[in-house]
Amino acid sequence: MILTGDYHQSTEQIIQQTGLSGKVITGKELDHLKSIDGITAISEVLPENKLAAVKKCQELGFTVGMIGDGINDAPALKLANIGIATANATDIAKQAAKLILMKDSLLSITNIIDSGHRVYQRMMTWTITKLVRTAELTILLTLGYLFFRFIPLSLNALVLIAILNDLVTMVLGTDNTQITYHPEKWGFKKIINQASVLTIGWTVVALAILVMLVQHLPASKISSILFLFLIASAMLTILMTRTTKLFWLGRPSSAVLTATSANLAIAILASTFGWGIAIISFSSIGITILATVVASLVLNVIQRFSWN
């Protein structure tokens, strides 16, 4: 929305020349506005009207960004959720703003917004993944000991899980992100919903594996199979939480793709050659990976409904 002190007719001409569409109102009409839908510009704006425009938009439930350069813009810049001062703005405007552009171009604003979205999405991926991995492992170890009287994962397996998970976490800051065109909110409920869906799903699969194997294999081999499952599920969790689409439709960065693939390869090799854990058969490895992938497809569909 453009705020200008120009006359109404002049503003309409400028809007037409720039190819914008929408309604142009005057600053006097602000007090009676009940909606800003379809409004492109406000003409004949006085200094106090700029502050009133920001207040009105906030009252209507919008997250407001304000760009200005003059002394009379300072109150509105201060009140706005994101006040942005241009590079040539007055000192008062810069002091009131939350962001100051360093170049004489408004195109920098899109870079700022995109950067914020990237940071937000990477934080969401890290937070949800961390919650899921921690809760899944805790529940599995606790229930395994309570019902079967042994800890289903060996100490070596736990150490390997911690190391491999941390390695991929280190590269999440390089991940590709999906830029959205609406303000994001750090919603605790959304985080818990996502983490709960994945935690419950993965834990049910892990416990099912434990129940099926406990009467047929020694504890050391059960530990190796669960180790492989936990690594595979953790890598798939990262791929699922980094996008609101089906996980194979959003390409991760080269670093994230390399790290997740390397982790899975290391887990398979460790299970094959007994690197710190018991050796398991190729059939056990294949069935475990297949079961994890099938479970991830089901969970990803449920997760999409949860996002919506």
Q: Is the pLDDT of residue 301 over 70?
A: yes
Asked whether the predicted pLDDT for residue 308 surpasses 70, the reply is: no
User: Residue 188 above 90 pLDDT?
Assistant: no
> In which band, very low, low, confident or very high, does the pLDDT at 85 lie, cut at 50, 70 and 90?
very high
Alpha-carbon distances, residue 236 vs 191, 192, 243, 295 (angstroms): 17, 18, 12, 10
DSSP symbol at 173: G
Q: How many other C-beta atoms are found inside a 10 Å radius of the C-beta of residue 59?
A: 9
Q: What pLDDT sits at residue 22?
A: 84
Indicate the domain borders of the chain. Answer: 2-108, 113-307
Can you tell me whether residue 279 is helix, strand or coil? coil
What is the tens place of the pLDDT at every residue in 230-269? 999 999 999 999 888 888 888 899 999 999 999 999 999 9
Statement: residue 15 has pLDDT above 90: no
Dihedral angle sign, alpha carbons of residues 97, 98, 104, 107: negative
Q: Find which of 30-39, 167-176, 281-290, 296-305 is predicted with most confidence, using mean pLDDT.
A: 281-290
**Residues 6+ positions from 237 with CB-CB distance below 8 Å:** 128, 129, 132, 133, 198, 202
The pLDDT of residue 60 is above 90? no
- Which pLDDT value is given to residue 259? 95
Query: Which residues on adjacent β-strands are paired with residue 26?
Result: 43
Q: How far apart are alpha carbons 69 and 88 in whole angstroms?
A: 7
Residue 232 confidence (pLDDT): 97
Mean pLDDT of the chain: 90
Cα–Cα distance, 117 to 176 (Å, whole number): 11
- Looking at residue 292, its pLDDT comes to 97
Residue 61 has pLDDT above 80, yes or no: yes
Tell me the range of 3-7, 9-13, 192-196, 259-263 where mean pLDDT is highest: 259-263
Q: State the pLDDT at residue 254.
A: 93
Task: Evaluate if residue 293 carries a pLDDT over 80.
Answer: yes
Q: Which tens digit of pLDDT belongs to each residue from 197-239?
A: 999 999 999 999 999 999 899 999 999 999 999 999 999 999 9
Q: With 90 as the cut, is the pLDDT of residue 5 above it?
A: no
The percentage of the chain sitting over the pLDDT mark of 70, rounded to a whole number, equals: 100
CATH of 113-307, one of 1.20.120.1200, 1.20.1110.10, 3.50.50.60, 3.40.50.300: 1.20.1110.10
Q: What is the pLDDT, as a whole number, of residue 161? A: 96
**What's residue 30's pLDDT?**
79
Q: Which CATH number fits domain 2-108: 3.40.50.1370, 3.40.50.1000, 3.20.20.150, 3.40.50.300?
A: 3.40.50.1000
Instruction: Tell which wins on pLDDT, 293 or 22.
Output: 293
Mean pLDDT of 39-51: 88
The predicted structure's pLDDT at residue 298: 95
For residue range 123-161, what is the model confidence (pLDDT) as tens digits?
Answer: 989 999 999 999 999 999 999 999 998 999 999 999 999
| pLDDT of 185 over the 80 cut | no
Percentage of residues of the chain with pLDDT beyond 90: 58
Residue 91: CB partners within 8 Å, gap ≥ 6? none
Please tell me which residue, 204 or 8, carries the higher pLDDT value.
Answer: 204
Phi, psi of 141 (to 5 degrees): -65, -40
Residues 6+ apart with CB under 8 A from 33: 25, 39, 56
